[in-house]
């Protein structure tokens, strides 16, 4: 299949299989996409768990409350489906839609150095959290950072002044003492 990645770095996690649904081999999926049913537009998934990689094909899926229910090709009973719980659902980076200027995927922001307006290195973005009001960046200390504090910064236009993916940096309006 041409969808097979050449390396793990080519993959982006877009969801996770969390449990089974019913007795016909369907699985419950937690989607990391926005809106959540965007995950269903990818027909070929690479599943990954503890170094194990599997290729599967999505036959159909539907939204059910805050999760998705998916039917995968060749998965026809509950016991088979149960073996997939815990697998991350990945797709090739190249399959993701292009974003407009100023919009970024979370994976693009993770690892960026965070620098305040005074030029002080606050740390690196470890990961982001969805809180409802706005997304939050978890900035952890790194080599040469100002101190050893973990900071939670809002991912808002007021806080994020600029993002330079090529330089691996983000400039923020944030008081280092906060």
- What does the pLDDT look like over 37-88, one tens digit per residue? 999 999 999 999 999 999 999 999 999 988 999 999 999 999 999 999 999 9
pLDDT of residue 71: 97
pLDDT of residue 159: 97
Q: What is the DSSP secondary structure assignment for residue 26, as one 8-state letter?
A: E
What is the topology classification, in CATH, of domain 8-94? Elongation Factor Tu (Ef-tu); domain 3 (2.40.30)
**What is the pairing mode between strands 169-172 and 113-116?**
parallel
Average pLDDT over residues 15-36: 95
Residue 130's DSSP bridge partners are 135
pLDDT of residue 132: 82
What residue segments make up the domains of the chain, in order of their start?
A: 8-94, 106-172
Evaluate if pTM is beyond 0.85.
Answer: no
Strands (DSSP E) contained in the chain are 11-21, 26-31, 44-49, 52-64, 67-72, 88-92, 113-116, 121-130, 135-140, 151-154, 160-164, 169-172
pLDDT of residue 122: 98
Distance, in Å, from the CA atom of 58 to the CA atom of 85, rounded to the nearest integer, reads: 16
Superfamily of domain 106-172: PRC-barrel domain (2.30.30.240)
């Amino acid at each position: 299949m041409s969808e097979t990645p050449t390396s793990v770095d080519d993959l982006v996690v877009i969801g996770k299989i969390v449990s089974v649904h019913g007795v016909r081999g369907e699985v419950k999926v937690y989607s990391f996409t926005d809106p959540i049913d965007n995950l269903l537009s990818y027909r070929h998934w690479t599943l990954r768990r503890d170094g194990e990689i599997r290729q599967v094909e999505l036959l159909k899926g539907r939204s059910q409350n805050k999760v998705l229910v998916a039917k995968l090709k060749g998965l026809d009973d509950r016991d088979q489906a149960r073996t997939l719980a815990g697998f991350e659902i990945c797709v090739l980076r190249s399959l993701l839609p292009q974003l407009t200027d100023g919009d970024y995927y979370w994976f693009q922001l993770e690892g960026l150095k965070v620098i305040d307006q005074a030029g002080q290195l606050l740390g690196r973005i470890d990961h982001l959290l969805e809180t409802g009001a706005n997304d939050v960046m978890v900035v952890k200390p790194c080599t040469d950072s100002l101190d050893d504090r973990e900071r939670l910064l809002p991912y808002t236009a007021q806080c994020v002044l600029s993002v330079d993916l090529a330089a691996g940096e983000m400039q923020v309006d944030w008081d280092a003492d906060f």
